[in-house]
Structure 1
Amino acid sequence: MSSLRESYKQEGYVLLKNFLDKELITAIHREGRQIFAYQIQRTLGETVDIDDLPSFEQAMYRFFAADFTAFANTGKQVQHMVSLHRLGTDSRITDTLKELGLDYPVIGVRPAMMFNSRHLAKRDDYWRLGAHQDWRTGQGSLDSVVVWFPLVPAGADLGALQILPRSHRAGLYDSTSVDYIGTIPDELLTDDWQQLEFEVGDVLFFSAFLVHRSGVNSTESVRWSVQLRYNNLLETTFIERGYPLAYIYKPQAELITPDFPAVSQMNEIFN
């Protein structure tokens, strides 16, 4: 057994420094901001400089307040960036998953880019998640792995992840439901939280059973991050349970925009 796998199995996580190229992470972050900029222009009539991060994020807050539906839809489009999905199949990640013990890694759910700030949430638990385990929402293989990394330097002040080392060995904790997230009551946990610190390019691999929570973002900045999840198709109980998939994707039956599109609009596209 490699030392990396041994440490991972014992502690429930490994934090790999300088794992991904900073240029790659910076490009994905910039592309996500550009998508928001298109809708900021439409909604607010503002042309924003996506490379002036503090100014851009203030514009994001105004966009959120002005048109929440468009903001939420824009956030969903960011999740479908080709570059983000390409990253999810990067050989550096899949090779590390195999080294950690996933003999046949598969993507558990589509990649997610997250942008956490109290200014971008209607409820406290939407930007600062309490103690939870990701396996409860995925219900995949017992050796499911979550890959998490910030797109900006992230420490305690920006609310980087806090973890309970070795908590994965206790199995699935009882929890109370908050929408799709199950929050674990404090009385069930020890107080041995470890605050993680990240530079751009650092990547955290952790068991889907590891108890973790968001730190408190005490700044005026957004905590930009990416989360990837993987299952192991060769894990015995996953096979025996018939490869369950907890995430349900389905289209909306009704037209979102009534009486759309007009023939004239189609002609503009294809002429």
Structure 2
Amino acid sequence: MTSDMPEYLPLKVANALLPDAPALRAQMEQDGYLFLRGLLPPDVLHAVREDVTGVLQAIGWIRGGPDRLAAQAQVLPCREGEPRYFEAIDRIQRLESFHSLAHEPALLQLMTLLLGEGAFPHPLGVMRLVFPDNPEVTTPPHQDFRNNQGTPRLTAAWMPLADCPLDSGPLAILPGSHRSGVLPLSFHLGPGNRQAVLPEELATARWATADFCAGDVLLFPALTVHRALPNRHPSRMRLSVDFRYQPAGEPLTEQCLQPHFARQSWDEIYRGWRSPDLQYYWHKRHYTVVPWDASLHALPEEHWDQALREDMIYERLRQRRFRNREQPRDEG
């Protein structure tokens, strides 16, 4: 990989610390993230990508045939929360391979080193379907704590389902930002419709990122500020997943035990699975359910007027870009 990253810091690679639990924890405490190269077998990620692109081809989002695994978009981009988005996400949430990925032995072993015995993944797994040339809804700077609540030790694992160089929009981290506490919110068009309001020392800090390969994993706790880079690839979607891992015995909210967006029951999701081994596995784990605090996720009323204006502008921009891409080029 030869990407030039003048504006970004490189992510520190933590593989040399394995399997030293105190060293891994110290590195996480210092930087607010751990970056592991080649932690997962690429063939496992490839199998999930095959299933996900099968869904996207079936609903017409991407080209079929030999181009399917490249996930080359052929429809107007959509964003989280739109009906077309749920047409894809609801099907992906029923994929056994998607949910099984959170239980890969290498991931579970790493989380045990980091969070202690009994650490387990939340059943709420998140699939990211990021269209190219759709910058207004790129995931903004934010912390996971307000979205999940419970323990601030909740640790996310982010991984692309294929190689993800800078121009495909990988994740970026603000090193050390986990020490800044819970930050205020403002509106954003991207996932969750919220972004963190950064204090000056973070707003002027340099982000850290990398060219990701299939099998690389980025870990960070719930207070670390992170964002996605825009997907600037001319045609390919960025497909990635994130799972969150819970230390045993610590608090979580009920929504973290539900499917993402809670549009289907677990019984509906499990219908057709080949194995019952991972079904309702969290019933055997130790945790404390605490109430959801709506005030931690609230936006000021005036932000919703801004939301309406930004949504109208975004709709015009994405329609215009899509029309321009569809126009045949003059070959003369």
TM-score class, shorter:
0.7 to 0.9
Match of 2:319 in 1: none
Q: Does 1:49 align with 2:65?
A: yes
Which one-letter code corresponds to 2:95 in the other structure? M
CA distance in 1, matches of 2:78, 2:227: 24
For each residue in 1:135-193, what CA deviation from the matched residue of structure 2 results, as whole angstroms up to 9, or x when unmatched?
11000212100000111211221111111011112221112144734312344424221
Q: Is this contact kept in 2: 1:137–1:246, CA < 8 A?
A: no
Q: Does 1:231 align with 2:243?
A: no
Match of 2:56 in 1: 36
Q: Does 1:151 align with 2:171?
A: no
CA distance in 2, matches of 1:250, 1:149: 23
Residues 246/63 of structure 1: CA separation in 2 closer, same or farther (3 Å cut): closer
Q: Is this contact kept in 2: 1:22–1:200, CA < 8 A?
A: yes
CA distance in 2, matches of 1:163, 1:47: 32
Q: Note the 1:48-87 alignment, pairs <5 A.
A: 48-49=64-65, 51-54=67-70, 56-59=71-74, 61=75, 69-87=83-101
Match of 1:199 in 2: 213
Structure 1 position 208, deviation (Å): 1.6
CA distance in 1, matches of 2:232, 2:130: 11
Match of 1:23 in 2: 43
CA distance in 2, matches of 1:5, 1:33: 36
Q: Is this contact kept in 2: 1:151–1:200, CA < 8 A?
A: yes
For each residue in 1:70-112, what CA deviation from the matched residue of structure 2 results, as whole angstroms up to 9, or x when unmatched?
5532222112210111111222212211111244323335212
Residues 251/10 of structure 1: CA separation in 2 closer, same or farther (3 Å cut): closer
Match of 1:162 in 2: 172
Please list every run of 5 or more consecutive structure 2 residues that lacks an aligned counterpart in the other structure: 1-20, 265-332
CA distance in 2, matches of 1:175, 1:149: 26
Match of 1:124 in 2: 136
Structure 1 position 2, deviation (Å): 2.6
CA distance in 1, matches of 2:165, 2:255: 32
Partner SS, residue 9 of structure 1: helix
Please list every run of 5 or more consecutive structure 1 residues that lacks an aligned counterpart in the other structure: 253-271
Q: Is this contact kept in 2: 1:140–1:231, CA < 8 A?
A: no
CA distance in 2, matches of 1:227, 1:170: 23
Q: What TM-score does the superposition give when structure 1 sets the normalisation length?
A: 0.76
CA distance in 2, matches of 1:86, 1:106: 13
Of 5, 29, 46, the match for 1:9? 29
Runs ≥4 residues deviating over 6 A? none
For each residue in 1:235-268, what CA deviation from the matched residue of structure 2 results, as whole angstroms up to 9, or x when unmatched?
3xx2xxxx4334566568xxxxxxxxxxxxxxxx
Residues 53/9 of structure 1: CA separation in 2 closer, same or farther (3 Å cut): same
Partner SS, residue 245 of structure 2: strand
Residues 90/53 of structure 1: CA separation in 2 closer, same or farther (3 Å cut): closer
Which one-letter code corresponds to 2:155 in the other structure? V
CA distance in 2, matches of 1:168, 1:64: 31
Q: What TM-score does the superposition give when structure 2 sets the normalisation length?
A: 0.63
Q: Note the 1:163-178 alignment, pairs <5 A.
A: 163-178=173-188
Of 165, 172, 194, the match for 1:182? 194
CA distance in 1, matches of 2:158, 2:144: 12
Residues 58/87 of structure 1: CA separation in 2 closer, same or farther (3 Å cut): closer
- Indicate the percent of aligned positions where both proteins have the same amino acid: 24
Match of 1:114 in 2: 128
Q: Is this contact kept in 1: 2:160–2:240, CA < 8 A?
A: yes
Count residues with an aligned counterpart. 234
Partner SS, residue 253 of structure 2: coil
Partner SS, residue 57 of structure 2: helix
Structure 1 position 197, deviation (Å): 2.2
CA distance in 2, matches of 1:226, 1:47: 21
Residues 187/71 of structure 1: CA separation in 2 closer, same or farther (3 Å cut): closer
CA distance in 1, matches of 2:154, 2:66: 35
CA distance in 2, matches of 1:109, 1:167: 27
Which one-letter code corresponds to 1:130 in the other structure? P
CA distance in 2, matches of 1:62, 1:20: 33
